[in-house]
């Protein structure tokens, strides 16, 4: 029987994952776990799901690993050509809309849910969600992937506007760590990318340094 939509074969390498991005005054913080699964088998424990498409624009990837890598490569090429045309760095909304065009135009062939975030001189730090099937939604913070369902309540109750860079970094670490604790498809280490006008700062939080917010009741 022929089915509509992308393949659901459990053997396809997939980023059953937790991704998120938060904006603050002066930039954005992006975070993700590092587990890539092939069915119930962990194909990669330390994959990098936060991929650059510009000097200060990054994309968090969830869904099919192959699909999201191909989409990001296309967006990077488009943005490079656009940058040459306008003779300056592209803006974050431009990247998000390009990402949406590719995902929406191929919505029956792709399994890709993305977060596009970054910093540009005109807009500052911006965060956009491009979910499965396409669409561009701007929010002060976005979560996605299979682990996101476990942390909506935590994020809604702990997020507040006006947080500092350090507070946003800790907020992302706590949220992704909680998702990794509950979601079997999320795990490994936490990768953090902080983007400001001064550049890009990357951090990896290894397993023994993850926030253990359940330590008060769980051994």
CA distances from 138 to 7, 9, 183, 185 (A): 29, 32, 26, 26
Instruction: State phi, psi for 62 to the nearest 5 degrees.
Output: -140, 150
pLDDT tens for residues 36-88?
888 778 888 899 999 999 999 999 999 998 999 999 999 999 999 999 999 99
pLDDT tens for residues 4-31?
554 555 455 555 789 999 999 999 999 9
Beta strand ranges found along 56-165 (DSSP E): 57-64, 112-120, 124-130, 137-138, 141-144
pLDDT at 218: 59
Q: Which of 17, 36, 51, 194 is labelled catalytic?
A: 17
pLDDT at 1: 46
Are the C-beta atoms of residues 22 and 28 closer than 8 Å to each other? yes
pLDDT tens for residues 205-214?
988 888 877 6
Query: Quick check: helix, strand or coil at residue 173?
Result: helix
pLDDT at 209: 85
Are the C-beta atoms of residues 80 and 71 closer than 8 Å to each other? no
Mark whether 17 is an active-site residue: yes
pLDDT at 13: 57
Taking every pair of C-alpha atoms in the chain, what is the biggest distance, in angstroms?
57
């Amino acid at each position: 029987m022929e089915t509509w939509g992308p393949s659901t074969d459990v053997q396809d390498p997939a980023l059953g994952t937790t991704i998120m991005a938060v904006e603050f005054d002066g930039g954005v913080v992006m975070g993700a776990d590092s587990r890539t699964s092939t069915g119930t088998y962990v194909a990669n424990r330390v994959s990098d799901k936060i991929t650059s498409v510009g000097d200060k624009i990054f994309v968090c990837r969830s869904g099919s690993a192959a699909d999201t890598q191909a989409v990001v490569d296309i967006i990077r090429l488009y943005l490079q050509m656009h940058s040459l045309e306008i003779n300056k760095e592209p803006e974050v909304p431009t990247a998000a809309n390009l990402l949406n065009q590719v995902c929406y135009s191929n919505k029956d062939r792709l399994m890709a849910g993305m977060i596009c975030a970054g910093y540009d001189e005109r807009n500052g730090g911006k965060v956009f969600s491009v979910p499965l099937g396409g669409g561009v939604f701007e929010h002060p913070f976005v979560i996605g992937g299979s682990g996101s369902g476990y942390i909506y309540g935590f994020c809604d109750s702990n997020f507040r506007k006006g947080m500092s860079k350090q507070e946003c970094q800790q907020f992302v670490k706590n949220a992704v760590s909680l998702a990794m604790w509950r979601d079997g498809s999320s795990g490994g280490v936490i990768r953090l990318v902080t983007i400001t006008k001064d550049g890009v700062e990357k951090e990896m939080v290894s397993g023994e340094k993850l926030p253990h917010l359940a330590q008060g009741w769980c051994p």
